[in-house]
Structure 1
Amino acid sequence: MTELPAMRQLEENLRTCGQLTADQIRELAAEGVKTLIFNRPDQEEVDQPSTLELQALAESLGMKWVHQPVVSGQVTDEQGVEFGRIYAEAPKPVVAFCRTGARCGCLWALSRKDQQPGQELVAQLQQAGFDMPDFFKRLTS
């Protein structure tokens, strides 16, 4: 059994984390995770696991797989809205992952910014362990 990457709890049914391996996906399925949202473009890094292989594994384990590729440092408001739609429709609980989990946190916050004040979103991100001062300014300005 491999150790799962650090999980950051954003809301009751949503956690984010860094890149998952096949063994970690098996562990999450055994834990009852119903949906994986993957926010990295294919081959962002040379040693990145194959998206298609991870998707096939997740689906063979009965999990829903959604690939929403987002370029690191270039998260748009529209991608945040799309993330919110994906999350709303996803069987819960959900784990969203990318290289470090930060992109997923940004997408989640952008999906919530019309429903919650920016300061609240910043506080929730900080409580989950995110330290992204430049992005926090974007939420509060």
Structure 2
Amino acid sequence: MQVNKVSDKYSVAGQILPADVAALKEAGFGTIICNRPDGEAEGQPPVAEIAQAAAAAGLAFEHNPIESGAPTPEAVARQGELCAAADAPVFAYCASGKRSTMLWTLANPEGLDADERLSCAEAAGYDFEALRPQL
């Protein structure tokens, strides 16, 4: 599993497995957010399995799914609220990390300006310059 650091408080990756959760706990994350709809792809572990592994490891788990490239205002707001309420760094995942980074960039839970958010996303490997008018 390759974890891409977006900020000191937020990192992303593609699909994880229940076996990955212990390493996330060891890395200092306190919350896992799944931004992928359950059953989106064949072979994808059910969200309930990841949630169960998170609970067993003592991590908070939230499911805030969005369709690829289609964040709703409600999902953006919820992502921001979940990040802002977290006491420890947040780890979010989807199929590639792109949706999770997009939600963070749009929600702006850390109160950064547009250039800072776009720079953070780019440093993590995601180009969201096209979102600039929305930021």
Aligned counterpart for 1:103 among listed residues 99, 103, 106: 99
Q: Shift of residue 17 of structure 1?
A: 0.6
Matches within 5 A, 1:1-141: 5-112=1-108, 115-132=111-128, 136-140=129-133
Q: Shift of residue 139 of structure 1?
A: 2.1
Which segments of 5 or more consecutive residues in structure 1 lack a partner in the other structure? none
* TM-score (normalizing by structure 1): 0.85
* TM-score (normalizing by structure 2): 0.89
Give yes or no for contact 2:68–2:99 (8 Å, CA) kept in 1: yes
Larger Rg: 1
User: Residue by residue, what CA displacement relative to the aligned partner does 1:23-49 show, whole Å, maximum 9, x if unpaired?
Assistant: 111211233321101100110001100
The alignment-based identity, stated in percent, is 29
Q: How many residues align?
A: 134
Q: Shift of residue 95 of structure 1?
A: 0.5
Q: Which runs of structure 1 show a deviation greater than 6 angstroms over 4 or more consecutive aligned residues?
A: none
| Alignment RMSD | 1.9
How many Å separate the matches in 1 of 2:127 and 2:29?
26
User: Does the residue aligned with 1:40 lie in a helix, a strand or coil?
Assistant: coil
Give yes or no for contact 1:77–1:110 (8 Å, CA) kept in 2: no
User: Does the residue aligned with 1:65 lie in a helix, a strand or coil?
Assistant: strand
How many Å separate the matches in 2 of 1:91 and 1:61?
16
